[in-house]
Every structure is written in structure tokens, then in C-alpha cells.
């Protein structure tokens, strides 16, 4: 999921239309594609350069989208301070950690680890908010999901911290950063900033923060000119997986609601694994597949959709 903002508290609990399912599947491919595109880009470019190009190009496109929609970015210093914090939590920190992580692990594994974001969000929201407390289902989901994480990392961690284990931990820290972003992002509704403007503002703030870091650390002008596949990957991750994905995200949110939108979390690792396997030739170990199943089970417990379906089916049978 790799670029999520906090959905509004109110959710639309209803079945999605065929069009909404199509948009949801498209969004999962776009966000899953971010891991695929990153897997190509890291073969030629360093992490900060990749992330800076991603948010810089996406910022230009989202600002243009705001203008087309008749919006202007706010000029209030309070709002821009919030954009900076949100940009750090939702872009700078997680994007950089995931890109670095993908220099050492497969894109599919990075996507699975990133799918733990809702698990971390449940814990962060319980501690940091008064209206999103832990429930029995959520606690069970967190326990099952993090059991899946332990399975994926495997017993090798007990024998020493290899670079691959650190890369997996980096992806988990990125998921935690997304969780904090989700809780922090709720304030933009109170500040009266429209969702599309919030997306443009926080990506713009991220670009401003990352540009000097990439210049100082990576010295991109000293790097050889990347080939067309890498240039295409950068354009793909910026245009498709960031700018277009944000616009699609907010459209689904407006019509299908936050509860239905959470289903994308289940789909992102699938699309990332398919693309990584078919195009990049990646292979996941059996423990990664088992871990993914446990994470999916944890997400299902948190979502509650399966439990509600089982209860309603049982009540229907009893009525019959």
C-alpha cells in the first residue's frame, strides 16, 4: 500500500459496483507496481535519488491535478507545517526505507511486509487516539499478523542480523511510519484541507525535503546515465504508482468508502509478487508464503468483513 493517507472516520458499508471493483483492482496494481518499478530502479540508481525523483515528479502532477480541479494549495504556515510532518511520515521515511530494503530483498517480500501497515495502525491508533480503541478482533488480528512477520523473517535472525534481515526490518519500520501518518493525517480534515490538496501538499513538502538530501548523499550528477528501463521505472513509480494512484484512491474513497477501500491491502502483495515473479524472475521462499497467509488472516480479523458475513449467514440459516 505503499502511499496511503488516513481515510475519513465515516465509512460506507455497502457492496461495491463492478466499476468500483475495477478501480480497486487497478489501484492494487498501481501500488503493487511501485515495488516492481523500484526493483528495476535500484539496479542503477541509489535510494535517495529514486525517492526524490518519485515525489518530485508526482508533486508536479498533483499540483496540476489541483489546478484542473479548481483548487489551490493553502498558504497557512500551520497547514504547511503539517504537510512537512505528513510528508516525512508518509513519504520521506517509508519510501527511503522501502527502496533501500529492496536493494537486498525481493519486491514481493517488501510488499508483503508493507501489508502489515494496518496491523501497526491498530496499535498506534489505540495508543494515540481516544476513538479507535483496541477490540478483541483487532488484537487477535495483530497477534496473528505479527506471527506471520516472525515466520517470514525466520529463525536466521537468532543467529545474527544479516543485511537481508535488516532490509526486512526497514520495510517493517516503513509500515510503522505509514501507521503514524494515518493517525496524524486525520487532522487535515479539521484544518479544512481537501484530500487532493493534502496529497499534493505533503508530496510537495517531501520533494523539498528530499532534493537536498539526494544531492548531498547520492551526488546524482556523478552517476552514469541510466538506461531506458530505469527511466521508464522512475516515470512509472512517479506517474502511475504515486500521482495517478492518489487520484484513484480519493475517487474510490468518495464512492465506496473507507471500509471497502481497505480491501486493497490484501491485493497489493499479490500484484507485486506476480510482477516480480513474471518480469524480474524473483522467487519467494515457502516461509514467505506462509507468512503472507498469516498476515492476510490478521488483516481479515481486523477488517471484520469475514466475521460479519459468517454471522449474517448463520442468522439467515436460522431464519430459514
pTM beyond 0.85 = no
pLDDT tens digits for the chain (320 residues)? 444 544 444 444 456 788 888 888 899 899 999 999 999 999 999 999 999 999 999 999 999 999 998 988 888 899 999 999 999 998 999 999 999 999 999 888 898 888 888 888 888 888 877 767 777 877 888 888 888 888 887 766 556 668 888 999 999 999 999 888 878 877 777 788 888 888 899 999 999 999 999 999 999 999 999 999 999 999 999 999 999 988 888 777 767 765 566 677 778 888 888 888 888 888 888 888 888 888 888 877 877 766 777 667 776 676 66
The C-alpha torsion from 172 through 251 and 303 to 28, rounded to 10°, is -50
Contact 141/301 with Cβ under 8 angstroms?
Answer: yes
Distance CA(118)–CA(107), nearest Å, equals 19
Distance CA(148)–CA(103), nearest Å, equals 22
Distances (CA, A) of 148 to 134, 205, 242, 269, 292: 20, 35, 28, 14, 6
Residue 65 corresponds to which cell in the numbers above?
A: 491535478
Distances (CA, A) of 11 to 54, 89, 217, 258, 259: 30, 24, 43, 5, 6
Q: End-to-end CA distance of the chain, in Å?
A: 41
Distance CA(52)–CA(266), nearest Å, equals 28
Amino acid at each position: 500500500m505503499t502511499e496511503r493517507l488516513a481515510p475519513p472516520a465515516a465509512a460506507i458499508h455497502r457492496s461495491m459496483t463492478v466499476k468500483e471493483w475495477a478501480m480497486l483492482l487497478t489501484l492494487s496494481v498501481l501500488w503493487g507496481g511501485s515495488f516492481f518499478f523500484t526493483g528495476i530502479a535500484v539496479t542503477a540508481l541509489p535510494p535517495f535519488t529514486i525517492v526524490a525523483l518519485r515525489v518530485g515528479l508526482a508533486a508536479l502532477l498533483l499540483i496540476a491535478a489541483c489546478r484542473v480541479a479548481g483548487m489551490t494549495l493553502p498558504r497557512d504556515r500551520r497547514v504547511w507545517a503539517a504537510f512537512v510532518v505528513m510528508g516525512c511520515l508518509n513519504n520521506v521515511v517509508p519510501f527511503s526505507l522501502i527502496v533501500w530494503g529492496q536493494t537486498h530483498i525481493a519486491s514481493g517480500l517488501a510488499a508483503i511486509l508493507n501489508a502489515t501497515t494496518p496491523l501497526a495502525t491498530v496499535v498506534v491508533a489505540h495508543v494515540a487516539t481516544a476513538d479507535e480503541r483496541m477490540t478483541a478482533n483487532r488484537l487477535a488480528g495483530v497477534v496473528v499478523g505479527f506471527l506471520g512477520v516472525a515466520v517470514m523473517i525466520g529463525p536466521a535472525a537468532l543467529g545474527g542480523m544479516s543485511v537481508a534481515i535488516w532490509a526486512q526490518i526497514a520495510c517493517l519500520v516503513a509500515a510503522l511510519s505509514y501507521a503514524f501518518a494515518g493517525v496524524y493525517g486525520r487532522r487535515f480534515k479539521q484544518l479544512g484541507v481537501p484530500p487532493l490538496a493534502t496529497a499534493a501538499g505533503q508530496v510537495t513538502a517531501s520533494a523539498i525535503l528530499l532534493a537536498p538530501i539526494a544531492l548531498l548523499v547520492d551526488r546524482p550528477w556523478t552517476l552514469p546515465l541510466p538506461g531506458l528501463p530505469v527511466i521508464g521505472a522512475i516515470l512509472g513509480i512517479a506517474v502511475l504508482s504515486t500521482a495517478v494512484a492518489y487520484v484513484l484512491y480519493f475517487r474510490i474513497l468518495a464512492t465506496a468508502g473507507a471500509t471497502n477501500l481497505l480491501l486493497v491491502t490484501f491485493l497489493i502483495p499479490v500484484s507485486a509478487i506476480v510482477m516480480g515473479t513474471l518480469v524480474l524472475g524473483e522467487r519467494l521462499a515457502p516461509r514467505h508464503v506462509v507468512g503472507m497467509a498469516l498476515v492476510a488472516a490478521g488483516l481479515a480479523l481486523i477488517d471484520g468483513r469475514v466475521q460479519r458475513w459468517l454471522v449474517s449467514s448463520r442468522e439467515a440459516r436460522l431464519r430459514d
